[in-house]
Amino acid sequence: MLHEPTITKLLAMKLNGMVEALEEQRRSTAVASLSFEDRLAMLVERQWLWKEGRALSSRLKYAKLKQPACVEDINYRHHRGLERSVIEHLSGNDWIRYAQNCIITGPTGVGKSYLACALAQKACRDGHRTMYFYAPKLFREIQAGQADGSLPTLLKKLAKASLLVIDDWGLEKAPAALYRDFLEILDDRHTTASTLITSQFPPDRWHELIGEATVADAILDRLFNGSHRIELSGDSMRKLRIKTG
């Protein structure tokens, strides 16, 4: 067998995972006893895993999550009103497939951002295009888009994400015009994509934060109609980490 030409052709076809597995098979004496079909299956499996790994890395890079988090590492021991059954249900990502929303509220330090990033990371693992924004930064990007004419491009990019995560909603009050643009973002995603929002403020204060009653009604209607709610409580987990060292 002409080994090097075969490797060159496999690499040219971007079958890097298969190349890695083929090199391992050449170094292993145990593989020689396997049938051709078994060895081929091993090569195909490695290529599939390699391709899936690259795709996941690409989705995570695109998402730009605030912190590394995964649903398997969520802390249920801390008393904050978090139910394992709720997270396990959301981890199945049916809510994303059905273009539903998720709202996570609670005081500072109870792990809202971690939960959001963990659910977003699971969405990436399951093949969903995801984007993460710190809420004040999102509004700054909308404002910049208004100024330089790039807002339509930003809106199209946001509309294409299967899951849009907006962290720390309400932390900074935005001008009324930006809330109207935010409503347009929600309109583009309504019934077609999912939005996950975290906030220190309970929903009954969102009218006050938005200011304009008509816009506030429209935003809350699109976000909360049929949404999943997680209401956290309790002491800050940051204090717990400091105490435990």
CB 183 within 8 A of CB 219: yes
Tokens, residue 183:
């409503």
What domains appear along the chain, each with residue ranges and CATH number?
A: 3-62 (no CATH), 64-244 (3.40.50.300)
What does the alpha-carbon distance between residue 187 and residue 222 come to, in Å, rounded to a whole number?
A: 8
Using DSSP bridges, classify how beta strands 228-231 and 194-199 pair: parallel, antiparallel or unpaired: unpaired
Would you say the pTM of this structure is higher than 0.85?
Answer: no
14 in helix, strand or coil?
A: coil
Q: What is the pLDDT of residues 162-219, one digit of tens each?
A: 999 999 998 888 888 899 999 999 999 999 999 999 999 998 888 888 888 999 999 9
Q: What is the pLDDT of residues 28-45, one digit of tens each?
A: 877 877 888 878 888 878
What does the alpha-carbon distance between residue 158 and residue 228 come to, in Å, rounded to a whole number?
A: 21
CB 63 within 8 A of CB 49: no
Q: What is the pLDDT of residues 92-104, one digit of tens each?
A: 999 999 999 999 9
